[in-house]
Amino acid sequence: MAKIGDIDVGDFPLLLAPMEDVSDPPFRALCKEQGADVVYTEFISSEGLIRDAAKSVMKLDIYEKERPVGIQIFGAVMESMLKSVEIVEASGPDIIDINFGCPVKKVVSKGAGAGILKDIDLMVKLTEAMVKHTKLPVTVKTRLGWDDNSIKIVEVAERLQDVGCAAISIHGRTRAQMYKGDANWYPIAEVKNNPRMHIPVFGNGDVNTPERAVEMRDKYGLDGAMIGRASIGYPWFFKEVKHYMETGERCKPPTMEERIEAARRHLQMSLDWKGEVLGVFETRRHYTNYFRGIPHFKEYRMKLVTSDRSEDVFAAMDLIEKEFAGYEFI
């Protein structure tokens, strides 16, 4: 049984990764219903929080039905990070997660996200200060290193644990790789196999089939899997992984009716939470996966991803439901 602080998260928990403009409350709710054990917010700028930037503050919204939920923050300035911890605490999350892994240039250029992999001492100091500044469990998400010549993740993970980090999620790529090439899980297994490590070690990167999740558990011995891109527009991925772990067999994919219902609910929840413009815009990236595999679908997909009015998107869904009624996904 893996534990993050005092929180039982189950045997080999599946965690929804924090993803910008993806892991918002509507999508987290859908993933939770389909078996995600722990969900994380989109990452939030500590500087944005202390400036009271509207977009950053909005990301603090969490709901009882999604617990346990972690709020993830990023930054590289000690004072800002500690102030943001106080703001985050007031939202009542179960976990505070620090992003030391985002490879995006605008984050890295400020020394935050994966940028901090160039300064491991600062990474450890920030973590230690934040642990001391809150009663909530503090976890870390990071990468293997800055590049192939600077992979010291076994040492880094041990140092983070020693200053109070309650769990660590490791993406099996360096910052230099961005999202290219294959994720390398062997260094993550080395972290787990370090006899001095006793906190949960979760793997991230390329968990894109139920078989890969089982491999992460059985071959690499990790404590859980953090799932990102495989879940976008496909919250059923969590359910499918759990079914495969229990039975050794793939379960049937969701039906057309289930996909349409989820897509409608997703859009409606997004409209309720973000309003018309953002609600329509930020659900677009999910539609390709909701309906992946349907032949001759381009014309319908274009309606979904180019319509600016929610009523047009709902109308497109009605049309898809009618045109492809009974279509069987393989």
Q: The CATH number of the domain where 58 resides is what?
A: 3.20.20.70
- At residue 124, the pLDDT reads 95
- C-alpha span between 193 and 190 (Å, rounded): 5
pLDDT over 90 at 145, yes or no: no
Asked whether residue 169 falls in the same domain as residue 302, the answer is: no
- At residue 247, the pLDDT reads 95
CB atoms under 10 Å from CB of 288, counted, come to 15
Last residue of a domain, one of 201, 217, 246: 246
Residue 26's alpha-carbon distances to 3, 145, 231, 320, in angstroms, are: 26, 32, 13, 22
Inside any domain, residue 329: no
Inside any domain, residue 201: yes
Question: What is the span of the domain harbouring residue 271?
Answer: 256-323
CA angle 320, 35, 222 (to 5 degrees): 125
Mean of pLDDT over the chain = 93
**Rg of the chain taking only CA atoms, in angstroms:** 20
Q: Label residues 318-330 b or e (16+ Cβ within 10 Å = b).
A: eebbeebeeeeee
Last residue of a domain, one of 224, 246, 268: 246
- At residue 126, the pLDDT reads 93
Percent share of the chain, pLDDT over 90: 74
Task: Catalytic residue, from 31, 102, 165, 251: name it.
Answer: 102
* Lowest model confidence (mean pLDDT) among 5-9, 109-113, 223-227, 308-312: 109-113
Mean pLDDT of 22-47: 94
Inside any domain, residue 328: no
- Band (pLDDT 50/70/90 cuts) for residue 217 is very high
pTM: 0.93
Asked whether residue 221 falls in the same domain as residue 262, the answer is: no
- C-alpha span between 199 and 196 (Å, rounded): 9
pLDDT over 80 at 54, yes or no: no
- At residue 113, the pLDDT reads 80
Inside any domain, residue 79: yes
Mean pLDDT of 93-104: 89
Asked whether residue 110 falls in the same domain as residue 173, the answer is: yes
Residue 215 one-letter amino acid: E
Percent share of the chain, pLDDT over 70: 100
pLDDT over 80 at 102, yes or no: no
Q: What total number of domains does the chain contain?
A: 2
Mean pLDDT of 252-273: 95
pLDDT over 80 at 204, yes or no: yes
CA nearest neighbour of 206 among 169, 179, 233: 179
Asked whether residue 210 falls in the same domain as residue 304, the answer is: no
Asked whether residue 25 falls in the same domain as residue 90, the answer is: yes
CB atoms under 10 Å from CB of 150, counted, come to 15
Mean pLDDT of 281-293: 93
- C-alpha span between 72 and 62 (Å, rounded): 12
Inside any domain, residue 330: no
- At residue 146, the pLDDT reads 87
Asked whether residue 242 falls in the same domain as residue 162, the answer is: yes
Mean pLDDT of 179-183: 89
pLDDT over 90 at 193, yes or no: yes
- Band (pLDDT 50/70/90 cuts) for residue 282 is very high
* Lowest model confidence (mean pLDDT) among 47-61, 96-110, 115-129, 231-245: 47-61
- At residue 289, the pLDDT reads 92
- C-alpha span between 8 and 215 (Å, rounded): 23
- At residue 140, the pLDDT reads 97
- At residue 178, the pLDDT reads 85
- At residue 60, the pLDDT reads 83
Asked whether residue 306 falls in the same domain as residue 196, the answer is: no
Mean pLDDT of 261-290: 95
pLDDT (tens digit, 9 = 90+) per residue, 11-28?
999 999 999 889 999 999
CB atoms under 10 Å from CB of 180, counted, come to 7
- At residue 55, the pLDDT reads 75
- At residue 63, the pLDDT reads 87
- Band (pLDDT 50/70/90 cuts) for residue 151 is confident
In the residue annotation, 102 being an active-site residue is answered as: yes
